[in-house]
Amino acid sequence: MTEGPIIAVGVDETESSRRALAWAAREAVRRGGTLHVITAWNWDPTDGTPLSSADPQSLFSAAEQTQREAIAEIVDPMPDRPPVTREVARCTPAEALAGASEQAALVVVGTHGRGPVRAFLLGSVSLSVIKRSTCPVVVVPPEAPPSTSHATPLTASY
């Protein structure tokens, strides 16, 4: 059973998805809602990747483990923790998140920090989710690298 609005978030093994999970968890608390954590996996034995030799049950188990670890690392230590529901879906991440958008008040995704040209050429989960979602989407940007500028910050006088 869910409480309040549903905040759906996609989680995989990347740091960008951990940032998205942390942001979504805080937003679920702020809104008095439920955090719905989604991890997608797909198995195509003909695609020629190393994962194509793995069996579907192993891939499902790996996705489930990735999700459990992310929740344990990010959500469980929070002082104010939202209710959490979990989903491990056998489809692409974009399909899973677009599907979740039908019940969610908000969908949250990370970004792998690709430049705009490369993301356009390769396609992007976040771009696909934005196009297909039936609710608002938040794309959590990568953490900004420390500034190497030695410029003096601007100040205003009132």
Distance CA 141, CA 122 (A): 18
In angstroms, what CA-CA distances link 84 with 6, 76, 143? 10, 10, 25
**Domains in the chain: ranges and CATH:** 21-45+54-140 (3.40.50.620)
Torsion of CA 121, 122, 125, 126, to 10 degrees: -30
* pLDDT in 10s for each residue of the chain, 158 residues: 567 999 999 999 999 999 999 999 999 999 999 999 999 998 655 555 555 556 788 889 999 999 999 999 999 999 999 999 999 999 999 999 999 999 999 999 998 755 554 444 434 888 899 999 999 999 998 776 555 555 444 444 44
Residue 11 region by backbone torsions, left for phi larger than 0, else alpha for psi between -120 and 50, else beta: beta
Q: Cα separation of 57 and 9, whole Å?
A: 23
